[in-house]
Amino acid sequence: MHGIAIINPAFEALSTHGDSFTHIKETVLTDYVINTVLLMAAVGFLVLLIGIPLAWLIANCEFWGKRFFNWALVLPLAMPAYLVAYTYTDLLDYAGPIQITLRDWFGWTSINDYWFFDIRSLSGAAIMLSLVLYPYVYLMVRASFLEQNATLTHAARVLGKSPFKCFMQVSLPLARTAIIASCALAMMESMADFATVNYFAVSTLTTAVYDTWLGHYDLASAAKLSAIMVMGIFVLLFLEQLQKGRQKNSNDAKVSQQTLSYKLSTKQTVLAVSFCSLILFLAFIVPVVILLQYAFHYFEQSWTTEVFDFALNSAGIALITALLALVLSLILNYSYRVKPTKAQSFSLKVASSGYAIPGTVMAIGVLIPLTFLDTQINDMAVWMGLSAPGLLLSGTVIAIIFAHLVRFIAIANKTLESSYEKISPSLDMVSKTMGTNGVNLLRKVHIPLIRKSALVAALLIFVESMKELPAALLLRPFDFQTLPTYVYQFASDEQLELAALGAILIVLVGLIPLLVLNRSIDAK
């Protein structure tokens, strides 16, 4: 079912005509593609510009405040991009407090009297997305810096290289795999984003899929647009795998007994703390403060039993998704461990490809097979003389859970796969000689060794599922809300103050798993 959900958009695109697609292709498709590519490129550039310096400072430098920034710089990942976009729009828009203050100070009377950055633009969307996606680069590249052999940099220093040249010529090339992988992940997330670009009125392929499906009720044309997005995703994945194949570093880039640490001077410390503080302030503190202010002032209007119900809906879906993903991933990885055949390897790769697929595309891929199954179930019920049960799968939360499962099981697969690689095969051999096989081998040997990684994977899946908006927006049953759809409903109507409480709940849920993940990286 996982593979069917992924290839269904392409199959639907090839097998059906799509009434709106011809018109879209002749008029606005080029603009959709160009905007999507520009957005991805801008986000890729900005996350590298922010994430790499932060990763190097925290991994290889000693300065005042490092321990605080080590975990604090991860916090923006708990913020959905659309929440940051909503708060900064309220802050920077023409009717926002900053522009009002500037007009009062300088006596300006209209927008024609001065220039101000237009937050509702493609560049504004790129900045908003970069502020919440840079932690991908920060986490992965920092881990790569920590794993590098410090003797290589020490040797370069002995040869007269400055710390900056050591960074550019030694540390950076050795971290190339992590840099490209994290950048590709951020770019794929930017392609998948719907709420931010839709709120800023930036037309991308994701918004086109949503508008074509729900606006024109043309699923076939939406599938054709989705197929274009899937092709772009596979191009990114291919380029990432290509550079991995060319990476020749092996044991020379692994952890050594020596540590690499630069003690910064007072001036350098001020610059480092200022840079870290600026990023944290813009990406996390400003949005959280604005949301807390709204939540406090509008608590009576925004807090209802419905908010609690929506939180339970989101938590229930996220919990079920996390548990199912963990169990299925454990089965797949254990099966490959016991019998590493090509078929098992292929199954793992297919199961790990869903995370690259945007939520809007995944919704189409999930809806088609579930609708087919619903039709078969209803036909069978009628044939047996029973009343048709209706939309048991495609019209219930099962569709949302299935979409989340297909998309986020990749997180569990990658995490458990990495943990299994660290378990020596000799442990399996010894266990088997002592009569421990099958389920007992998994329960008594493997699970205790991968328990920490499994917990991190489950927590991350829970957070991602709690934040996921497009799939829930497209697949939710009638009159069913989750926290993201509830927040989006009010924010899209320019009523962020009423959605602030729900937004704070989303952020709070995401903080604990991120802190656990951050500590696990430092413990390596």
Tell me the Ramachandran region of residue 408: left when phi exceeds 0, alpha when psi lies from -120 to 50, beta otherwise.
Answer: alpha
DSSP secondary structure string, 181-215? HHHHHHHHHHHH--HHHHHTT---HHHHHHIIIII
φ, ψ for residue 254 (rounded to 5)? -95, 175
505, 485: one domain: yes
Chain segment 270-308, per-residue pLDDT in tens: 999 999 999 999 999 999 999 888 888 888 777 777 787
Across the range 232-258, mean pLDDT stands at 57
389, 524: one domain: yes
225, 327: one domain: no
> For the chain, how many structural domains are there in total?
2
347, 421: one domain: yes
Binned at pLDDT 50, 70 and 90, residue 434 comes out as confident
46, 174: one domain: yes
The pLDDT value recorded for residue 174 is 77
At position 169, the amino acid (one-letter code) is Q
Chain segment 357-369, per-residue pLDDT in tens: 767 777 777 777 8
Across the range 215-219, mean pLDDT stands at 68
432, 472: one domain: yes
The pLDDT value recorded for residue 517 is 64
Q: Does position 115 have pLDDT exceeding 70, yes or no?
A: yes
The pLDDT value recorded for residue 324 is 92
Q: Residue 225: give its domain's CATH number.
A: 1.10.3720.10
In this predicted structure, which of 128-137, 155-164, 319-328, 386-395 has the lowest mean pLDDT?
155-164
The pLDDT value recorded for residue 48 is 94
The pLDDT value recorded for residue 519 is 66
Residues composing the chain: 524
DSSP code at position 20: T
The pLDDT value recorded for residue 123 is 93
Query: How far apart are the C-alpha atoms of 338 and 340, rounded to whole Å?
Result: 6
Both structure tokens of 160: 């007269």
The pLDDT value recorded for residue 240 is 63
Q: Does position 252 have pLDDT exceeding 50, yes or no?
A: no
146 in Cβ contact with 59 (< 8 Å): yes
Cα angle 305, 308, 313; round to 5: 125
Dihedral of the CA atoms 407, 85, 487, 394 (nearest 10)? -30
279, 316: one domain: no
Please name which of 286, 258, 309 lies closest in space to residue 481, comparing C-alpha atoms: 309
Chain segment 182-200, per-residue pLDDT in tens: 888 788 888 888 888 888 8
The residue range of the domain holding 519 is 298-524
Across the range 254-281, mean pLDDT stands at 80
Q: How many CA atoms lie within 13 A of 80 on its CB side?
A: 32
Q: Does position 8 have pLDDT exceeding 70, yes or no?
A: no
- How many angstroms separate the Cα of 80 from the Cα of each of 91, 131, 210, 490? 17, 10, 19, 15
